[in-house]
Structures are given as C-alpha cells and as structure tokens.
Structure 1
Amino acid sequence: MVFYDSWPKIDPKIVLWLLLAVLVVDHIWEMVLAKRQQLVCLGANTVPEELRAVIPPEIYHRARVYELHKMELFMWKHGIDLVISLAEVFFGFYPFVWGLACSTLRSATKEELWISLIFVLYLTIYITLRCLPVLLYDKCILELRYGTQTRMPWYMYLCMGLISIILAQIVLAPLTLGIVFIVQTLGYFFFLYFWVIWAVFTLLMVFLLPYICAPCIGRQVRLPEGPLYQDVKRVCDLTDFPMSRVFIIRTKSTQYSNAYFYGSCCLKRIVIFDTLLYNKGLPPHELQPFEVGRGLFNVQVAAVVAHELGHWKKGHFYKATLIMKVHFLLTMILFGLLFHCPQLYEAVGFQHGICPIIVGFIIVLRFALTPYLTLANFVMLWNLRRFEYAADRFAHYLGYSMPLRSALVKIYADHMSFPVYDTCYARWHHTHPTILQRLAYQQRLDIEAIYN
C-alpha cells in the first residue's frame, strides 16, 4: 500500500504502551461488570415478586444456574483473551504471521493482495486454536460445576473447528480481496467512500427489507379482518396510523414473539409476528405441543402495537437512522486517521514503512478504536433504552398500561430467561430495559397519573 506519513513524529513505544493500556482497561472493565452480574445472581435466590405468578421456582433456579455459568465463562474468556492479546501486541505476533505469509508465497508472488489471503487463512487457524482454552474450561470444568453439560463427543468439537475454518475462508477470502483492492484503488480517503456506500446501502434496505429479508422469516400479509383487527384498529385510529400498513408475518421456524415498526411515509409498517398471537392465531390441533397456550390475547397485542406506534410518533426510526449514520461517519474518520498512522504499525512490531492493509484493519478496529467504540456503544445503548421507555410512556398515554404490563409478563413467561440484572451491567450490554425495569416504569407512570 502507498504509505501516507502525515502524522506527527511519535515514539512507537509510547503508542505500544497506550495500546496495552487500552487492552487492560477494556478487559478489566468487562470482567468487573460480569462479576457484578454474578454477585447479583448469587444474591437473587428467590423469584422476584412481580414474576412469581408466571415463573415456577425450578425454572427460575435453572435460569439462575445458566446465568452464573455464563458470567463465569465470560470472565474467564476475557481473562484469557487479555493475556493472549497482550502477548500478541507486545511480542509482534502480527508481523510474524505476515512474514510467514510472505515466505509461503515468496516463490510465486510479492503482491500484497495474495499475501493478504494467506495471512487471513493463517490467522483463522490461529484464532480457532486460540479458542481452545476457553472451550476446555467451559466443557471440562464449568459444565460439570453447574450441571449444564451437553454431552458432545470431543471429536465433534474438532470437526466443528475444521468446518469453521473452511466456512470462514468462503466469507473472508472475497472480503479480504475486496478490502485490499478497494483501499489500493481509492487511496487515502477510501474510508469516506466506505461510509457513502454504507449510507446508500442502509437507505436501500428500507425499501428492500419487506421484499428481501422478511421472506426469509415468513410470509408477510396485511392484518386480516377479525377481532384482532378491530382491537388493533382502535389503537391505530387514536394515532391516525393507517391499518393498511399493519402486517402480520407467518413465521417459518422462529419461536420468538415480537412486533416492530420501521420505515417512513408510504413505506412505514408495523409488523406483528404470528408467534405474538395466542396460539399463533391457529386452532390447537395445528400446533406443536409446546406452542399451545403461548402468545398474547388481542388486547395485549393491541398494547404492543401501541408501544410500536410510540416509536412512530416519537420519530425514533429517523433519530436512530441519523445517529447510526453520524456514528459510522465518526468511526470511519477516526479509522482513516489511525489507519494511516505509521507509528501504529511500528508499535505492533512492523518495520518502518511496512503497513499491510489487512493488518491495518485488524489492529485499528481491534485495538486503536476500542475507546471510541466502547463509549459510542454505551451511548447508543442508553439511547435505545430511552426510546423503549418513551414508547412505553406513549402506550400508557393511550390507556394501555395494564394490557402492556400483562403482555410483557406473558412474553417473558413464553421465553423464560433470568430476569435479575445488575444495573451497571445492563447499561453496558442491553438494548432494552429489563422486564423488571419496564414493569416498575409502568407502575411509576400509574402513580404519576394519579397525583397529576
């Protein structure tokens, strides 16, 4: 690649220590969050009062054990990853693998395009082996401790590793060739072209989503006439949302209960999964035994639609789209600046003037951009939860507080998971408020409505 040395002269050793500090702080913080969640799990011995009517104690205990298992594995994974990552950066792992790829093709070519392919192949094999300590700890220690063993033969994991390496090359090989070729062709400001391509692509997806992505989930049709139609129409009439833009999707295999709003103007839609309906809207004899009794009654479905109408009325689709585009633009600008920092390549062990494109992508995205991406992720998750609270408040304003509350509990009962989360952990990991937080918020809105 053409080398753009436009950065001020910085000692690569300083950059190296900064990268190591970023790694330590990021991983330690994630481990602290996981430990907080683990302590919350250990203290939550009984089913929360709000959910005692829908969670049997044995199911709650099983979910609690699984959450403890998950958190301990999470901490172990980050601890191992921290040690290995520090060693990779400090001892020049990436220059070593790049040199190995160059040696492999020395007699055939010196083209960076083809060397990058071999580099990615070696890196994929290494990453597969790198996962072994966590896998062994999980299967040999944690699953025995928590009683969640899957009883899969050891050779199946070996086969899965080999298959993952092969499948990864099917995806990564053309992606690697595309990245290297585009950067070589477009030059210094390639990252801005990436942003433009992504912005155009996401706008096109608004038009194409119903015709490309939705059919992969199931067949999408307008909500048919009937009792449910009347309940949904009642809430749509309160907000002047056209019933012609309310759809139901007959799912093929998913059991996840959901409804969502997306789009704008003539493209706006509210889509209701048939799994959200009581018994999927079908006679019991057409269902699998585990599907009988699942789903919501019509008024509860209308309450969920009222929540989605809140997203529409508050303009959350536009706001989220704008925020994502600004975030990605800032990411690309920072990426472009760091990508052309020669000291960054020297800090991880490359000689001055050697800056392989694909290695640049890895070290910038994995190490250099971590502070910004972590902070941006926290802010965006906070904003998404704020949107959910705003939509819940809108449903409450329309008079659907109790139906929405019962709908949330029923959806939770249909997809049982551990309901108790540490507040700080949830802020850094969850796109939605927890079930307990949403129920408490509705109760608070009820109390405010009484006194106001």
Structure 2
Amino acid sequence: MAFYDTWPKVDPLIVLVVLCLIVLVDRIWEMILTKRQQLVCLNAIMVPEELRGIIPPEIYHRARIYELHKTELQLWKYLIDLIITLCELILGFYPFLWGLAAMTLQKVTSQEIWITLIFVFYLTIYICIRFLPVLIYDKCLLELRYGMSGKFPWYLYCCIGAMSILLSQLVLLPLAAAIVFSVKFIGYYFFLWFWLFWAAFTLLLVFFLPYCCIPCIGRQVVLPEGTALYMEVKRVCDVVGFPMKRVFIIKTRTMQYSNAYFYGSCCLKRIVIFDTLLLNKGKEPNEIHPYEVGRGLTNIQVAGVVCHELGHWKHGHFYKATIIMKIHFFITMGLFGLFFHSPQLYMAVGFEAGVMPIIVGFIIVLKFALTPYLTLANVLMLWNLRRFEYAADKFAHRMGYSIQLRMALVKIYADHMSFPVYDQCYARWHHTHPTILQRLAYQQKLDMKAINAGTY
C-alpha cells in the first residue's frame, strides 16, 4: 500500500486552483521585478559617476536601449506565458496532447514508451508555435520602436524553427525514452536513484572536466615559468601556499569573454585563466585581430583577479557550493517523488483517475508543483553565490590587491560593455555575481573600514 492511501483525499479542483495560483504569483512577481528594472533603466540617462571615464556616452546609450528592449520583451514574454499556461491548465492541454499521441499509435501499439516519443514530438512543435506571439511582438513592434533592424527575413525564422524541431529530437527522444524506461525499471523510489546518479556524475565531472569540457573551449597549459605574468601570480600564490603548478592558462579559439575561475580540491584544485583576460591575449599586437588590441589586463591586474580566486580557495567555497547543491538536489528529488506519485496532481490537470503518464508527470511536477520550492532555493543559492564573491573580494582587499582588483573589474567591464545599472531587487533575484557598481562600492566600503581602523 502506497502512503498516499492514508492521506485525506484532496479534491483535484482544489489542486488545480493551487497550481493556477502558483503560476499567477510567480509570473506576476517576475513582471514586477522586470518592470522595476525597466524603470531604473529609463531613469539612468547619464553614465554612472564611477564609470564616466570608462564608458563613452554613445556606447552607454546603446547599452541602455538594448536593456530597455530586453526588459520590455521580457514583460511581454511573462504576460503571454501567464495567459497560455493558465489556459493549458484549465482547458486540459496535457491530457489532450497525450490522447492525441495515443490516438496516433492506437493501431500500432499502446505501450507508454512509444506514446511518450510521439507526445514529445508534438510538444516540441507546440512549444515553437507557442513562442510565435513573442517573436512577432519583438520583430514587428519592439525592433522598430528601439531602432533595431531585423537581421533575418521571416522565412528564415521559419526554417530555423523547423530545424530546431527536428534537431531537438536527437536529444529529447532518447532522453524521454530513458526517463520512462528508468522509472519503470527502478520502480517507486526511482528519484533517490536519480539523486545518487547525479551526485556521482558531478563528482566524476570534477575529475574529467579538464579532459572532456575544457578542450571544447581551447588548449589548457600550465602557466609558463620565467614570464613576467608568472612572477606576479607566483608572488600572491606563495603568500597563501597555492602551488604554481596548479595555475593554468586556456588558449581559447573563438571565445571573446574574459574570465578566470577556481575549482576542484586537493590534488585536483586549479586556477584557470583565459588568455582573453591577458593584455592583447598575451601576444604581440600584430598577432591578433585589430579589435583585440588593447583588450585585457596588465600582469598586476591579472594577479589581482587571481588573488580573488585564491579567496574562493581559502574560504572553501568549492566544497560549500558542492555540498549545498547536493542537499538542494536531494530535497528537490524528495519533493519530486512526493508529487510525482500523487494521483490528485494528474487529475487536477485533466487526466482520468489512474492515468499517470511518466513524462507528463515530470513536466507538471517540475513546471508547476515544485515552483515555490525551486524559486526559494534559487534565490537563496544566488544570495550565497554573491556572498562568496564578496568574501573573495574581501580576501583580495586584505592581501593588498584592492586597487588592482578594482582596476581589473573596470577594465573587464570596459572590454565587454553591458548596461551597468540594475534594480537591487531584480539583481538579487537573477544575478550570480554582484554588479560592477556593487563590487566597486564594496571595495570602497572596505577602504573606509580600513582607514577608520588605522590599518591603512
């Protein structure tokens, strides 16, 4: 006997109302946040004082226009998604599509795994059609309003949509089949096995990331000895006891984004510096494209960034983030199993009693039932990631690299212009890192504390 048999029987209509309220609150809140960001963007006419010598007014204006375009499009997306999603729940879209898939194969087979494949194919087509109102709004109204001419004719978008439907099946169909087969084979507590598989996979990823994923970006080599950059980085690594043989450079192929990161533990720990972070990619000006000349950081500024990454290492952020993610996924899988096996949830979206398609269960649980928890967990984890960034910045400040880090942040921002002004509530809800203005203000705050404490 399943433990659901001992539960009070909840009217599926009440469950449906709860699901609709979840969707309504979630989308309206996202619209409020996006509207706040749009208002901040509208009022931020002038370049912020901290960046006035860095951003030319015309580039700032273009970035502001792009941000206005993006926020208005996002508002339209949330509104359309709210209306369509409520219609899907109330009108029984998922039972209809499942019935259509079953009807397609009724003369061939009634096995769930084959019906699932047709269901996923139909759902992919529907999702592309579902996106049409947003695409039309963007191309026919917003691009004209903000002076952004369309890059492609309409028929090319149709071709792209058709190709995406076909190519996505190469991933979605095997994945859907694997999910259905796994649930049927493993049984009632499949979600716990999913968690164990994910936990093992992420641990193995730490071992194999340098050998499987990094080669897709570029060639990774140990930071060469004898160079000026090596000496600057060694100076800061020696202070904290980080081995130089674990500092790597990635010689990228086509990537333009400047980055450096720390990951791993014990003998697998490493600091990785993208060559795009180096001044002129560490090459002579005649060896790179004209637009790349002058981009990147000086050696002392790179050392400031490395000092920030060493802060992540010294504070054990990799361990902490790994443990938090595994706890989060364990809770997610536990709640998932709780809702997945609930017949009232399937009846609430329109299925007859006893009909509980596996793939539909995955969709409605992840898309609707788990939304409150996933939203809360996401906000808390984003807050924690930003806390890690502040802690690493504070470490660099204590190490005497505050000025170098500040100069590096500003230079990286200057190389990759984006709109710098964000509503605080919007940023808390969406950003993994503090904004450029927040990080500069934090360094200034640390300076004031040091001056007041007499350590400067």
Q: Give the match's secondary structure for 1:108.
A: coil
Gaps of 5+ in 1: none
Please tell me whether residue 227 in structure 1 is matched to residue 234 in structure 2: no
Please tell me whether residue 137 in structure 1 is matched to residue 127 in structure 2: no
How far apart, in 2, do the equivalents of 1:128 and 1:379 lie? 32
How far apart, in 1, do the equivalents of 2:394 and 2:147 lie? 41
Give how far 1:3 is off: 8.9
State which drifts further: 145-154 or 175-184. 145-154
How far apart, in 2, do the equivalents of 1:125 and 1:188 lie? 31
How far apart, in 2, do the equivalents of 1:82 and 1:341 lie? 25
Give how far 1:151 is off: 3.2
Partner deviation per Cα, 1:170-213 (whole Å, 9 max, x = no partner): 11000000000000011110000000000000000010011111
Q: Report what 1:9 is aligned to.
A: 9
How far apart, in 1, do the equivalents of 2:394 and 2:169 lie? 47
How far apart, in 2, do the equivalents of 1:256 and 1:154 lie? 31
How far apart, in 1, do the equivalents of 2:124 and 2:391 lie? 43
Q: Report what 1:107 is aligned to.
A: 107
Q: Report what 1:264 is aligned to.
A: 265
Q: Give the match's secondary structure for 2:242.
A: coil
With normalisation by structure 2, the TM-score equals 0.98
Q: Report what 1:253 is aligned to.
A: 254
Q: Give the match's secondary structure for 1:10.
A: coil
Q: Is the 8 A contact 1:231 1:299 kept in 2?
A: yes
Q: Give the match's secondary structure for 1:54.
A: coil
Partner deviation per Cα, 1:113-148 (whole Å, 9 max, x = no partner): 000000011111011000000000000000000012
Please tell me whether residue 240 in structure 1 is matched to residue 241 in structure 2: yes
Partner deviation per Cα, 1:282-328 (whole Å, 9 max, x = no partner): 00011111100000000000000000000000000000000000000
How far apart, in 2, do the equivalents of 1:364 and 1:119 lie? 17
Cα distance change of structure 1 residues 177 and 77 upon mapping to structure 2, 3 Å threshold: same
Which runs of structure 2 are paired with 1:364-403 in the superposition (5 Å)?
364-403=365-404
Q: Is the 8 A contact 1:259 1:276 kept in 2?
A: yes
Q: Give the match's secondary structure for 1:256.
A: coil
Q: Give the match's secondary structure for 2:267.
A: helix
Which runs of structure 2 are paired with 1:121-160 in the superposition (5 Å)?
121-160=121-160
How far apart, in 1, do the equivalents of 2:157 and 2:249 lie? 40
Give how far 1:4 is off: 8.1
Please tell me whether residue 328 in structure 1 is matched to residue 329 in structure 2: yes
| 2:188 counterpart letter in structure 1 | Y
| 2:281 counterpart letter in structure 1 | K
Q: Report what 2:36 is aligned to.
A: 36
Q: Give the match's secondary structure for 2:77.
A: helix
How far apart, in 1, do the equivalents of 2:258 and 2:58 lie? 23
Percent identical pairs in the alignment equals: 71
Alpha-carbon RMSD across the aligned residues, in angstroms, is 1.0
Alignment coverage as a number of residue pairs: 451
Give how far 1:5 is off: 4.6
Q: Report what 2:412 is aligned to.
A: 411
Which runs of structure 2 are paired with 1:305-384 in the superposition (5 Å)?
305-384=306-385
Q: Report what 1:85 is aligned to.
A: 85
How far apart, in 2, do the equivalents of 1:150 and 1:413 lie? 27
Q: Give the match's secondary structure for 2:184.
A: helix
Please tell me whether residue 206 in structure 1 is matched to residue 222 in structure 2: no
How far apart, in 2, do the equivalents of 1:155 and 1:325 lie? 45
Q: Report what 1:185 is aligned to.
A: 185
Give how far 1:439 is off: 0.1
How far apart, in 2, do the equivalents of 1:350 and 1:133 lie? 28
Q: Is the 8 A contact 1:3 1:355 kept in 2?
A: no
Gaps of 5+ in 2: none
Which runs of structure 2 are paired with 1:293-312 in the superposition (5 Å)?
293-312=294-313
Higher RCO, 1 vs 2 (CA within 8 Å, ≥6 residues apart): 1
Q: Give the match's secondary structure for 2:54.
A: coil
Q: Is the 8 A contact 1:396 1:442 kept in 2?
A: yes
How far apart, in 1, do the equivalents of 2:218 and 2:72 lie? 37
How far apart, in 2, do the equivalents of 1:272 and 1:354 lie? 53
| 2:252 counterpart letter in structure 1 | T
How far apart, in 2, do the equivalents of 1:148 and 1:389 lie? 37
Q: Report what 1:21 is aligned to.
A: 21
With normalisation by structure 1, the TM-score equals 0.99
Q: Report what 2:172 is aligned to.
A: 172
| 2:125 counterpart letter in structure 1 | I
How far apart, in 2, do the equivalents of 1:377 and 1:148 lie? 33
| 1:242 counterpart letter in structure 2 | P
State which drifts further: 172-181 or 144-153. 144-153
How far apart, in 1, do the equivalents of 2:281 and 2:82 lie? 46
Give how far 1:167 is off: 1.0
Give how far 1:392 is off: 0.1
Q: Is the 8 A contact 1:3 1:340 kept in 2?
A: no
Q: Report what 1:216 is aligned to.
A: 216
